[in-house]
Amino acid sequence: MKILITGNKGQVARELQLALAGKADVVSLGRDRLDLANPNQIRQQVRALAPDLLINAAAYTAVDQAEQEPEAAFAINATAPGVLAEEAAALGIPLFHYSTDYVYDGAKAGLYTEDEPTNPLGVYGSSKLAGEQAIQAVGGQYLILRTSWVYSLHGRNFLLTMQRLLQEREELRVVDDQVGAPTWAGSIAQATVELLEGWQAGNRRWGTYHLTNQGGTSWFGFASAIAEQLKADGKPCARLVAIPSSEYPTPAKRPLNSRLDGSKLAHDWGIRLPEWHVALLECLRQTR
């Protein structure tokens, strides 16, 4: 089986390449060979490679910068997924596509299910929602996988930023009124492999699913868990101070609650990701 993965240097793409090693012929392309802002290049590469499965792990993820660059965000997050869906449909192959919790406005108190009304607060969430809609308009074989608060040991993410700042500063102020599920890219990759195996075994329950580590916490809670591990390793660690979002204004507004319900994925595909703190420990174990 040949699998084409977009965004070869991204957090999820890196973990996918590790998880799929020895299981498939993986071709992972970065922007130099597959620029998602270039529809013609997308079509040329997909047709030339003719994969058996297409996984879109690339995205415009600069949430705040997207407010100043809406055209770039929509080109990569909205137009490109539609083109990928068209090419996948033409080849008669599935498309796995990762989306985000930011398609919701965070006004709900409980967990969001897949059929809840969407209402993104900023350009990033709006562009990702438009990408979902573009894929759905094409139809065919697709999985839209909404995840949240993705981190890993590579790239730019909350985990690595907190590890650095906690060791550089004496005090660190972190938002405590935004809640979600920190999700390790390794958990996403493992679940994707299980989806692949389910499809090979005959499962055809295509559609939109929530794919996050279980449970939830605030950014402050996430930072506190990271701090605990630094202390356990005997490393210096700043004092954490919880603050409301109002004390940390950003160009893009974030949902106060973006916890996603993963029960549909468990019911239809038999996949349930680990608790977020368990996944964090597994991720950090790799650094040792």
Q: pLDDT tens digits for 36-82?
A: 999 999 999 999 999 999 999 999 999 999 999 999 999 999 999 99
CATH class of domain segment(s) 2-155+183-213+259-274: alpha beta
- Is the torsion defined by CA of 274, 278, 284, 288 positive or negative? negative
Residue positions annotated with a catalytic role: 124
Q: Give the span between the Cα atoms of 276 and 252, in whole angstroms.
A: 25
Please report the pLDDT score of residue 223 as a whole number.
Answer: 97
Q: How far is Cα 167 from Cα 223, in angstroms, rounded to an integer? A: 12
- The answer to whether 57 and 10 are in contact (CB under 8 A) is yes
CA distances for 288 relative to 52, 158, 233, angstroms = 36, 19, 10
pLDDT < 70 regions, the chain? 288
**pLDDT of amino acid 288:** 60
Question: HSE (CB half, 13 Å, CA atoms) of 172?
Answer: 22
| Entry pTM | 0.95
Q: How many CB atoms sit inside 10 A of residue 140's CB?
A: 17
CB under 8 Å to 249, separation ≥6 — which residues?
A: none
d(CA 200, CA 7) in angstroms, rounded, equals 24
Question: Counting every residue, how long is the chain?
Answer: 288
Q: Rg of the chain over CA atoms, in angstroms?
A: 19
| Whole-angstrom distance, CA of residue 276 vs CA of residue 112 | 17
pLDDT at res. 8: 86
DSSP element (H, E) containing 226: helix 219-232
Cβ–Cβ < 8 Å for 87, 75 = no
Per-residue buried b or exposed e for 178-216, using 16+ beta carbons within 10 Å of the residue's own CB: bbbbbbbbbbbbbbbbbbbebbeeeeeebebbbbbbbbb
The edge-to-edge listing of strands for the beta sheet with 207-210 is 25-29, 2-6, 53-56, 95-100, 142-147, 207-210
